Copies of this chain bind each other. A is one copy, B any other.
Amino acid sequence: MANLGEFEFIAQLLQGPAAQGQPFYRHPLALGIGDDAALIPPLGPQEQLAVASDMLIEGRHYFADCDPRSLGHKVLAVNLSDLAAMGARPLAFTLSAGLREIRRPWIESFLDGMLSLARESQCPLIGGDTTAVGEQAPEVFSVTALGVVQAGTALRRDGLRPGDDLWVSGHLGDAAFALAQKINDPKLNCPQPRLALGLGLVGLASAAIDISDGLQSELMHLLNGAQNRAAQPQRLQANLNWQKLPLGPLVKQAIQAGRLMPPQAAGIAITGGDEYELLFGASPRERIHLQALGEQLSLALTRIGSVDSSDRPVVCWRDASGQPPPEILQDMIARGGFRHF
C-alpha cells in the first residue's frame, strides 16, 4: 500500500530505527514510543532539564516540494539549535505531525533525515502524535526537544556585561540569500545545530542565543535580557562593524559576481533568519580560550563587536573608520528581521 494508516505508521516507527537502540545519552530509555507517555530514567542530582519547542509549517517555513530528508533534518535541527544556545546536552525529543496523508517513500525519507541527526546527536525520538490535516491544508511538524544542563551553568539570554565582546559562529547570510534566490544550499536545507559549541561555551560565554530570526533581532534580545534581568539589570549598547561580519560563501560569490553590493550582503547577514549559528557574549579575558575552542571544533568564531553601558539598549553599526552604514544598509536594518505576523 502506498498509504499507511496512523496505527501502522506508529507500529513502523516502533520497529524502526527509533526503537533499535539509538545511542542514548547515558541510560537506555525506561519506556519509548507506544504507551500514553514515554519514560526517561532519573537524571543526575545536579542536572536541570532544558525544554524547547518549535513548529514548522509548510509554505511558511518550507516548500511542499522540498527534499523530505532535508526537511526531517531541519525540523529536529532547529530545536537542537535551541538546546545548543542553552549549553544543554540533548536527551530526547517528541514529534507531532499533521499530514494530509502518509505517503510511504516521502515519510521514510523524512524520518531518515530526522533520525540520522537524532543518532548523531544522541537524542532519540521517544513519542509524539500523528494526525490528519484537511486535503487542502498545509502540513505541520512540531518538535519538543529535551536536554540536560548542570544546574547554574546554562547559557542564558540575560547575562551580558559592559565590556563583553560579541561573537558569532560560522558564517551568515547564505540561508536568507538561498531562500530569496530559491537556491538549494546546505546552510538553508541542512542547518547544523551548534551543540558541541554550546557545550564548549559553558563557563566561557556570559550570554548566548541562536540566530533563528536574524542577527539584529537576536542582538536586541540579548540587550533586552540584560536590561530586564532581576540581578543588576544594565542598559547596554552593542557596537559592531558591519564590514567585519563573516559572510557565507554564497553571498561572497554574489559580491564577486557583482550581483550584491557589500552593504546589501551585510544587510542580508544582519537581518536574515534561519542561520542557526550562535551569537554570544564573553569577557575579553576569554578570547584566547574561544580561539582555542574554535580551532578544536574546526568552526570559525568571529568577534563582531562589543557592548558598553548606555542610556538605552541600542544596536549601533559602524564601518572600520567609525562612519555610519550607507543608506541602503540602514534601510535594510530598519525594515528589520523576520516577523511571523
Chain A: residues with CB nearer than 8 A to chain B? Answer: 3-7, 9, 30-31, 34-57, 59-61, 82-83, 85-86, 88, 92, 94-98, 101-102, 126-134, 136-138, 140, 142, 144-147, 149, 151, 154, 156-158, 208-210, 225, 339-341
Tell me if B129 and A54 are in contact (CB < 8 A): yes
What are the nearest 6 A-B pairs in CB distance?
A142-B142, A144-B144, A37-B52, A36-B85, A55-B96, A53-B94
> Chain B residues near A56 (CB, 8 Å)?
131
Q: Report the separation of the CA atoms of residues A34 and B86 in the bound assembly, to the nearest whole angstrom.
A: 12
State the oligomeric state as a number of copies. Answer: 2
Given A7-B339, A51-B126, A53-B142, 13 other A-B residues pairs in contact with their CB atoms under 8 A: A36-B86, A37-B88, A38-B50, A39-B86, A39-B149, A40-B48, A40-B50, A43-B43, A43-B49, A53-B96, A53-B128, A60-B134, A140-B142
Q: Report the separation of the CA atoms of residues A268 and B48 in the bound assembly, to the nearest whole angstrom.
A: 45
Q: Report the separation of the CA atoms of residues A134 and B140 in the bound assembly, to the nearest whole angstrom.
A: 12
**Could you pull out 18 A-B pairs where Cβ atoms are within 8 angstroms?**
A5-B339, A6-B339, A30-B154, A36-B52, A37-B82, A37-B85, A39-B48, A39-B149, A42-B45, A51-B94, A51-B146, A53-B95, A53-B128, A53-B142, A55-B97, A56-B131, A57-B98, A133-B140
